[in-house]
Amino acid sequence: MTSGIPTPGKIIAVHLNYPSRAAQRGRTPAQPSYFLKPASSLAPTGATLERPAGTELLAFEGEIAIIIGEPARRVSPAEGWKHVASVTAADDFGLYDLRAADKGSNVRSKGGDGFTPLGPAAIPAEGIGEGDWRVRTWVNGQLVQEDTSDTLLFPFGRLVADLSQLMTLETGDVILTGTPAGSSVVLPGDVVEVEVDAPGAPGAPTTGRLVTTITQGAAEFGDFGTKPATDDLQRVEAWGSDEELAAAVAAGRASAPASTAAADAAAPADPAFELTDELRADFGRVAVATLSVALRKRGYHDIFIEGVASTHPGDRIVGRAKTLRFIPFRPDLFQSHGGGFNAQKLAFDTVAPGEVLVVEARGERGTGTVGDVLALRAQVRGAAGIVTDGGVRDFDAVAGFAIPVFSQGAHPSVLGRRHVPWEVDVTIACGGAAVQPGDVIVGDGDGVIVIPPQLVEEVLAEALEQERQDAYVAEQVASGASVDGLFPMNAEWLARYRAAQEAR
């Protein structure tokens, strides 16, 4: 290899190991599973990697690679980490176009020349815990992956122990330990960089950036083997999600899917999505703060409806958005749009059972945007709640209703002081967040958050698991445990947590 990393006898890769990635895939494995990569797939930093002719779905996967020191055979999980000599960065490239070629072995989809860049430097593991590592990936200078080893489903020591039950892990063998959420497709001309470091260790050691530049290959596949083939499912999985594929199509980086499944992701609302009673109940068990963490991991940062609070302490709302937009007051426009059965009245008179009426008032709290009569109408219609980034008129009366109302607070003025009711069922900006009709709105004492429908199941699954972990941590603290290593949980505490979950 290069930079003092010798060519390994074995390169073993883990399929799924980060909760964020498992949530994307919609499955969490009970035990680790693996595949082998050939030594001929290794490449140093600064190398170029061809996307083979006739393919479109070459994807990167930034990973932490562990390098075996003392050979390991039938060691325990507690002993496994002691057999790791050093840690480096890896990029586990794969071609989704050939994913079906070898029935899960990944021989051709992940075994091509240059498909395993490694390096540039190896960090000695001595004195650094197995939960102390971080992996980050950049594409064209933009950070697209970041996660830490203390979140792994299967810690490093467990991987070493598991593999050593059947094979001797020899000095220099490399284990690729899985990739977090954020893996996606790269195109010719893209530059991918992966870095592994231990930011909390003395000196904050780092591998440096492992750089790979993607080029376009010219050699076509012959007729004497499986040829590349894709479908919409492979496109979605390669890009990471329906939403990422739709964004890539919009940016001209991907071809439009043949079916409507991914195309629907670009539409304001996904008609196939249903906010079931089961999903509503699950949202009732998850805090907005926890959901926000799961969304941030997927690149969604501006999903809070800022500055709003409920009329009732302890209120929660869950429902799909029905939207109403106000524009700034202008006499002629208010004359033409403010009277009669205007957009405001239409929105409150047509909100469906279980929907949340979300109002764009531009953060203007100097007038009311909803009063007692319209709030009562929404309640009678079975609305799950009202959210406005403006004020509420008849505040005490509205607070007396059962329906949750989140707003900027009370103001006695009528609508025409600052607003003209303009349109319903359009994309709006409420409290700094983009809201489309059909988005899922969740609110509690911490505020209100917006979740795109295509992300609901994976975000909710990850958040429920985080809530279980948080409850376990709280139990330990209540029993007298120190927060050192517990909050957040290190590898040892995660192992105890998983054992406790299995026991239940």
- Location of structure tokens 């004492």: 445
Tokens linked to 164: 């050593």
The per-residue b/e assignment along 87-118, b for 16 or more CB within 10 angstroms, e otherwise, is bbbbbbbbbbbbbbbeeeebbbbbbbebbbbb
372 known ligand binder? yes
Phi, psi of 291 (to 5 degrees): -60, -35
Q: What's the CA gap between 272 and 224, in Å, rounded?
A: 41
Which residues make Cβ contacts (< 8 Å) with residue 165, sequence separation at least 6?
74
Rounded Cα gap, residues 460 and 278, in angstroms: 11
C-alpha dihedral sign at 355, 356, 362, 367: positive
> Does 112 show up as a binding residue in the annotation?
no
At 309, which helix (H) or strand (E)? strand 309-310
394 annotated binding-site participant: yes
Does the annotation list 187 as a binding residue? no
Backbone angles phi, psi at 465, to 5 degrees: -65, -40
379 dihedral zone (left: phi>0; alpha: psi -120 to 50; beta) = alpha
List residues bridging with 433 in a β-sheet.
Answer: 430
Report the distance separating Cα 415 and Cα 329, nearest Å.
9
Q: Are strands 391-392 and 368-370 parallel, antiparallel or unpaired?
A: parallel
Exposure of 457 by Cβ count < 10 A (0-12 exposed, 13-18 middle, 19+ buried)? middle
User: Per the annotation, does 425 bind a ligand?
Assistant: no
Say how far apart CA 364 and CA 291 lie, in whole Å. Answer: 27
What stretches of 329-427 adopt beta strand conformation (E)?
355-360, 368-370, 385-388, 391-392, 405-407, 419-424
Pairing, β 317-328 against β 355-360: parallel
For every residue of 18-34, DSSP letters joined together read: -HHHHHHHT---SS--E
Nearest to 314 by CA among 284, 345, 337, 343: 284
Residue 143: count other Cβ atoms within 10 Å of its Cβ. 12
Q: Is 480 annotated as a binding residue?
A: no
* Closest of 67, 196, 183 to residue 133, by C-alpha: 196
- Contact between 443 and 385 under an 8 Å Cβ cutoff? The reply is yes
Residue 435: φ, ψ to 5°:
-130, 125
User: Binding-site residues for substrate, please?
Assistant: 371-374, 393
Binding residues for Mg(2+): 394
Feature table: binding site: 371-374, 393-394
